[in-house]
Amino acid sequence: MEQALTVHFDDDPVRFTPEGKVSVLDAIRALTQSCHPGHVWKSLKEEHPEILDHCENYRFQKGQWLPVMDKEGLEMLWVLLIDYVGKSDFLCSDRVAI
């Protein structure tokens, strides 16, 4: 059985499944430097439910089930996150957005 992979972008760990799907919350945190990736994800799902077509739940190392997405979903996420980068309520005060 293959193990999940964690890649660090600066200091942000981003987990990938053995199949190459990325943890949604990790990706949001790393791409936006948000302290509240769950809030961003909730908003994205409500405003763009089509992104869920690229998602499923995955359990990383016997932890809780977390949303992961495929390459197409990550590309869609990247485009959609541009709107969130400027929203101060989703960002950490001590981190700089991209």
Domain map (residue ranges) of the chain: 5-90
Q: Specify the pLDDT at position 37.
A: 92
Q: Specify the pLDDT at position 97.
A: 43
pLDDT per residue as tens digits for the range 44-98:
999 999 999 999 999 988 888 999 999 999 999 999 988 777 665 555 655 444 3
Q: Specify the pLDDT at position 62.
A: 81
Q: Specify the pLDDT at position 38.
A: 93
Tokens representing 4 are: 């999940």
Tell me what the mean pLDDT of segment 18-33 comes to. Answer: 93
Q: Which parts of the chain are beta strand (E)?
A: 5-9, 12-16, 22-23, 55-59, 65-69
Return the CATH class of domain 5-90: alpha beta
